Amino acid sequence: MTDALVLLVVVPIAASLFPVALGGRFERIGWFVAAAMGLVHLGLSATVAARVLEGGSISYAVGGFEPPFGIELVADGVSAPLLVLVSLSTLGVLVYARRAGPHSNAFYSELALLTAGISGVFATADVFNLYVFLEITGLATYALVASGRSPRAALASLKYLFVGTIGASLYLLGVGYLYIMTGTLNMADLTGAVASASVGYTSPAILASFGLIVTGLLVKVAVFPLHTWQPGAYAESPDTVSAYISALVSTAAAYALVRIIYAVYTTGFLDEVPLAGDALVALASVSVVVGAVLAVMQSDLKRMLAYSSVSQFGLVVAAIGLANETALVGAVVHLVGHAVMKGGLFLTVGVFATGLGVRTVEDFAGLAAKAPVSSAAFAVLAFSMVGIPPAVGFVGKWNIVVGAVEAGAWPVAAVVVVSTLLTLAYFGRVIERMYFTAPEPEADAVSTDGGNDAVEVSFGMRAVVVVSAVTAVVLGVLGSDLITVIQPALEVYF
Partner 1 sequence: MMDLLTTHYNYVASILLFGIGLYVVMGSPNLVKKIIGMNIFQVGIFLFFVTTGYVDGGAPPVVGHGEETFVSPLPHVLILTAIVVGVSLTAVALALVIRIYDGYGSLDEDVIKEVQVDD
Rule CB under 8 A: say whether 241 interacts with partner 1. Answer: no
Q: CB-wise, 172 or 339, nearer to partner 1?
A: 172
Q: CB-wise, 139 or 483, nearer to partner 1?
A: 139
Rule CB under 8 A: say whether 154 interacts with partner 1. Answer: yes
Please give the DSSP secondary-structure letter assigned to residue 124. Answer: B
Q: CB-wise, 161 or 256, nearer to partner 1?
A: 161
CA distance 418 to 411: 10
CA distance 325 to 97: 38
Q: Which of residues 166, 293, 418, 445 is near partner 1 by CB under 8 A?
A: 166
Rule CB under 8 A: say whether 211 interacts with partner 1. Answer: no
DSSP 254-298: HHHHHHIIIIIIHHHHHHH-HHHHHHHHHHHHHHHHHHHHHHHH-
Rule CB under 8 A: say whether 157 interacts with partner 1. Answer: yes
| Cα–Cα nearest to 364, from 380, 348, 383 | 348
Q: Which of residues 70, 101, 176, 357 is near partner 1 by CB under 8 A?
A: 176
Rule CB under 8 A: say whether 435 interacts with partner 1. Answer: no
Q: CB-wise, 146 or 256, nearer to partner 1?
A: 146
Do the Cβ atoms of 59 and 67 come closer than 8 Å? yes
Cβ of residue 108: shortest distance to partner 1, in angstroms? 17
| Cα–Cα nearest to 324, from 205, 405, 228 | 405
**Computed from CA positions of residues 177, 183, 185, 189, in that sequence, does the dihedral angle turn out positive or negative?**
negative
Residues 378-407 that bind partner 1 (CB under 8 A): none
Contacting range for partner 1; rule: CB under 8 A; set: 87-95, 129-137, 221-229, 458-466: 129-137
Q: CB-wise, 146 or 457, nearer to partner 1?
A: 146
Cβ of residue 190: shortest distance to partner 1, in angstroms? 14
Q: Which of residues 85, 172, 256, 473 is near partner 1 by CB under 8 A?
A: 172
In this structure, which amino acid lies at residue 465? V
Q: CB-wise, 157 or 240, nearer to partner 1?
A: 157
Rule CB under 8 A: say whether 131 interacts with partner 1. Answer: yes
Q: Where would I find the H helices in 146-273?
A: 151-182, 187-195, 204-221, 229-236, 239-259, 266-272
Tell me the three state secondary structure of residue 313. Answer: helix
**Cβ atoms < 10 Å from Cβ of 204:** 9
Angle at 103 between CA 42 and CA 367, to 5 degrees: 85
CA distance 72 to 120: 11
Q: CB-wise, 146 or 257, nearer to partner 1?
A: 146
Q: CB-wise, 139 or 188, nearer to partner 1?
A: 139
Q: Which of residues 17, 155, 369, 421 is near partner 1 by CB under 8 A?
A: 155
- What binding mask, one character per residue, do residues 272-311 give for partner 1 by CB under 8 A, x or -? ----------------------------------------
Rule CB under 8 A: say whether 151 interacts with partner 1. Answer: yes
| Cα–Cα nearest to 49, from 8, 77, 7, 73 | 77
**Computed from CA positions of residues 236, 158, 290, 135, in that sequence, does the dihedral angle turn out positive or negative?**
positive
Q: Summarize as ranges the residues that interact with partner 1 (CB under 8 A).
A: 128, 131-132, 135, 138-139, 142-143, 146, 150-152, 154-155, 157-158, 161-162, 165-166, 169, 172-173, 176, 179-180
